[in-house]
Amino acid sequence: MSLPDSSILTNIQVPGYTRPVEILFEKKYITIRSLEDRLYTDEEVMKLPDIALGHTHYKEWQVRRRSVRRLLSYLLAKKRGLDILDVGCGNGWLSHLMAEIPGARVTGLDINFTELQQAARVFNDDPNLRFIHGDMRSGVLSGKSFDQIIFADSIQYFPSLKKILHWGLSMLRPGGEIHIIDTCMYKQGELEGARRRTAAYFYSLGYPEMADFYFHHNMADLRSFDHTLLFMPHTLRSRLFGHNDPYPWIRICNS
């Protein structure tokens, strides 16, 4: 795995040793992203969540565009500088948008080195944005704390919802918040069917083993946390506003 040219990418931190299992996961993950047409050019990344009307995932990006608009409006309304951690930031498009909030300082974190390099390259001129290669559970963020931690389409890659939320809470400052967006959450009776669909999907792509890295989380596991649903899908209100976005927006407070 090649390292970035530090003379060019001044906003990426590569702590060092990467476990073989993480390298293997990334290779297969990137292959699947390519099969799904989810690898974007630098020019496309710079414009996300806006994307060409004819793109395969245009409708999906319209959903994400609305969810991110809600999140950015919420963070802007705090009217103060925020240290924000974007967990599973991928190519950095959301990290970049949050870094444009006045006073914000954003850290994008991911074990996906390929897309992280792209993020650092595309957004290298943003002084309020940096990227770190690694897993939040591995110690790469040791000694750091945040006002806001964002899991945007990423918490499904952690096997235990409760454990990763406790990790996140341990990194929050007093009054801090965790936000989960753009992720399916399930009731107990829905979990087995969701697992079967995921297994069938990865099997169809020729990588059945990847189902072992994708996890389905139970809404009931949130009961032990101080949480609020800031957006609930499939409600009358969402239909009245002309769309029925499928993902909840969950806020967990450091109470």
User: Residue 4 pLDDT > 50, yes or no?
Assistant: no
Alpha-carbon distance 182 to 249, whole Å? 7
For residue 26, the surrounding DSSP H or E stretch is helix 20-35
Over range 132-152, report the average pLDDT.
94
| Residue 15 pLDDT class (50, 70, 90 cuts) | confident
| Residue 5 pLDDT class (50, 70, 90 cuts) | very low
Percentage with pLDDT > 90 across the chain:
84
What pTM was estimated for this model as a whole? 0.93
The structural domains of the chain, ordered by start, are 12-253 (3.40.50.150)
List C-alpha distances in Å: 230 to 19, 125, 182, 234.
Answer: 37, 33, 13, 13
Sheet of 172-181: strand order equals 12-13, 129-133, 105-110, 83-87, 146-152, 172-181, 249-253, 227-231
The CA angle 92-204-48, to the nearest 5 degrees, is 20
Which 8-state DSSP code applies to residue 101?
A: S
Nearest to 55 by CA among 34, 38, 68: 38
Classify the C-alpha dihedral 95-152-170-24 as positive or negative: negative
Nearest to 133 by CA among 83, 179, 82, 87: 87
Using DSSP's 3-state secondary structure scheme, residue 204 falls into helix
| Count of all residues that appear for the chain in the document | 255
Tokens 């799904």 correspond to what residue?
36
Which residues, in sequence order, are CB contacts of 250 under 8 Å at separation 6+? 179, 180, 181, 185, 222, 227, 228, 229, 230
Strand partners, 131: 12, 108
CA dihedral 119, 120, 122, 126 (to 10 degrees): 120
pLDDT score for 234: 75
Which 8-state DSSP code applies to residue 225?
A: S
Half-sphere exposure of 17 (CA within 13 A, CB side): 4
| Residue 238 pLDDT class (50, 70, 90 cuts) | low
User: Residue 1 pLDDT > 50, yes or no?
Assistant: no
Record the tokens describing residue 34, joined without a space: 């390519």
Distance of CA 158 to the CA centre of its chain: 11
Over range 221-249, report the average pLDDT.
84
